[in-house]
Chain A
Amino acid sequence: MAASTHPHTEARRRTYADITALLGAFCFFLSALEYMVPKPLPFMRLGIANLPILLAADLLPLPWYLALALVKVFGMSVISGSLFSYVALFSLAGTLTAALAMRLARKAFGRLISAVGVSILGAVLSNAVQMAIARLIVFGDAVRLVAPPFLAAGLATGALLGVFAEAFAGKSAWYARATRELHG
């Protein structure tokens, strides 16, 4: 006997899928933009592909949210050509750390924190985890030389991304509608 699904639940599931797909497509697009920007130093990234994840921290349930983070890792790795290299491990660890930290901060601190703080937290923790992995498996103690500019770049780009996300969430009719649909 086939299990029946409540129409309301099915509609909700479809909305989650739609939002995840749309934000996932944005991850791909922003990854491509990010790839086109010349990097002054190895490791340095703007992190703009994290914007959809930052916006989704308030919108999606955890499984869909993690699926979006994995889509971002996949997109970034495909576009940068690192999917089948160990470099993808850095993207995976950094993105999952940032996604979980941002989600936790949003849920735990509510209105005490804005997208700016959430974004800085995600960016700096993501970079710190990538430095830890680089220390463990590639460059050893020399990573101490890389860490300060890399973390400082995370602080700066995280703050800028947070300011943009805050402005976007305040002005976007799509974001307001999605929030209404999902959270009543």
Chain B
Amino acid sequence: MRLRPLDIVIALAAAGAIAFAAVSAYGPGSGPVNAVLKGRGGEWIYPLSADRDVRVAGPLGDTVVEIRGKSVRIVASPCPNKTCIAAGAIERPGQWLACLPNQVFVSIEGRRADGGVDASAY
């Protein structure tokens, strides 16, 4: 099989667009690290430092989000395939969970704990 010129152009253009999207999405954040929960009724922000269970209402029913030990996961969902539950726990800024059928989105936003410069010496 031989690649043609436009194959390479298209692959490079796609890779460039993806790199740009990644830098825009995962660039340095600001503020404390929080779990951001979006549902049909609105958006809620919770600190990762306090353990809790949150029920987020969607068109199919309630999605239960567990915040525990500075990580977040979906533990119950009325969606058919449960992909959102199988995705497991997230704990770093930029990570996300989504339930498309129940229209629930969970992400972690804020400054990375291991990012930035703590000190410098000359």
Contacts and interface: CB of A to CB of B under 8 A. Distances in A.
B14 interface: yes
Task: State the main secondary structure of chain A at its contact with B.
Answer: helix
B101 A85 contact: yes
Interface string B17-43: 110011011100000000010100000
Given A41-B83, A117-B7, A138-B103, A147 B25 contact: yes
Interface string A117-147: 1001100100000000010001110101111
Contacts of A167: 1
A40 B81 CA distance: 12
Nearest to B97: A42
Contacts, number: 108
Which of A80, A112, A116, A134 neighbours the largest number of chain B CB atoms within 10 Å of its CB? A116
B45 interface: no
Nearest to A39: B83
A76 B27 CA distance: 36
B17 A151 contact: yes
Interface of B: 1-11, 14-15, 17-18, 21-22, 24-26, 36, 38, 80-81, 83-84, 86-87, 94-101, 103, 105, 107
Contacts of A170: 1
A159 B1 contact: no
Interface of A: 38-43, 80-82, 85, 87, 90, 105, 109, 111-114, 116-117, 120-121, 124, 134, 138-140, 142, 144-148, 151-152, 154-155, 159, 162-163, 166-167, 170
A140 B39 CA distance: 11
Nearest to A141: B38
Contacts of A80: 81
B98 A159 contact: no
A148 B86 CA distance: 20
Contacts of B83: 39, 41-42
Given A42-B83, A139-B105, A111 B94 contact: no
B18 A142 contact: no
A113 B105 contact: no
Given A42-B84, A144-B24, A117 B10 contact: yes
A145 B25 contact: yes
B29 to A, nearest CB: 11
Q: Give 10 closest A-B pairs by Cβ, nearest first.
A: A117-B7, A148-B22, A113-B6, A42-B98, A144-B25, A117-B10, A139-B105, A124-B14, A145-B96, A116-B7
B14 A120 contact: yes
A112 B21 contact: no
B87 A144 contact: no
Contact of B4 (A117, A138, A145, A148): A117
Nearest to A166: B1
Given A41-B83, A82-B101, A116-B4, 7 more contacts: A42-B97, A81-B80, A87-B101, A117-B6, A120-B11, A121-B10, A159-B11
